[in-house]
Amino acid sequence: MPEGLTQILRTDAKQNRDRILEVAREVFASDGLGVSMREVARRADVGPATLYRRFPTKKDLVLEAFLDEFHTCRSIVRDGFHDPDAWRGFCSVIEQLSELNAQNQGFTEAFIAEYPETVDLVAHRTETLRAFTDLARRARAQGELRADFVVDDLILFLTANRGLASTPAHDRIKAARRLAALMIDAFRASPANRELPPSPQLTRSAGSS
């Protein structure tokens, strides 16, 4: 095959792949992970065979579509973990995760649900929750975080954050910041704290905090 034609085919293949990922991010962000592969192909204006050639399974597409978000989420928790003031680090994680997840509901769903069989997602989630659990322990030891906080409360928070998907796009970040501020106040240790109902077991990946 002539070199020029080979280059054209490679360029076309890359453009198809980039378009598929762009569309996947958009539809997963707006509609969640329930969107079918066929629907992604239709919106990307490629044939199903082209989609499956690039991404043999849906988990491959999900992982690649959210790769940047995985790294961002991990960095947010890592930065908070390394803050010498654990409460400040804890608050920073809540604030930044709130914004990240408000912008991409598909990622929130993948993080919360531990998307089936996607080992990379499970490993990411486990590592992130473990670091956050350690950060919460330190914040509680400082006397800043309420004593009955458990890591499942982070999942509850992210679940509530998913509701922002119905908020108009131009108000979503403002809403995320306000929700984060309200949650931080709820997490803060105070003589006024009331006893909480038992926590549901939403995650066992990091153990209890």
pLDDT in tens, 77-121: 999 999 999 999 999 999 999 988 877 766 666 666 555 555 566
| Percent above pLDDT 70 for the chain | 81
Indicate the pLDDT class of residue 145, thresholds 50, 70 and 90. very high
Exposure of 10 in the CB half-sphere (CA atoms within 13 A): 7
Across the range 12-39, mean pLDDT stands at 85
Q: Is the pLDDT of residue 205 over 50?
A: no
Across the range 55-84, mean pLDDT stands at 88
Indicate the pLDDT class of residue 203, thresholds 50, 70 and 90. low
Q: Is the pLDDT of residue 11 over 70?
A: no
Structure tokens, 160? 């509530």
Indicate the pLDDT class of residue 207, thresholds 50, 70 and 90. very low
CATH architecture of 3-65: Orthogonal Bundle (1.10)
Q: Is the pLDDT of residue 143 over 80?
A: yes
pLDDT of residue 103: 74
pTM of the entire predicted model: 0.74
Across the range 5-10, mean pLDDT stands at 48
- The 3-class SS string of the chain reads CCHHHHHHHHHHHHHHHHHHHHHHHHHHHHHCCCCCHHHHHHHHCCCHHHHHHHCCCHHHHHHHHCHHHHHHHHHHHHHHHHCCCHHHHHHHHHHHHHHHHHHCHHHHHHHHHCCCCCHHHHHHHHHHHHHHHHHHHHHHHCCCECCCCCCHHHHHHHHHHHHHHHCCHHHHHHHHHHHHHHHHHHHECCCCCCCCCCCCCCCCCCCCC
pLDDT of residue 177: 94
- CATH 1.10.357.10 intervals, the chain: 3-65
CATH of domain 67-187: 1.10.357
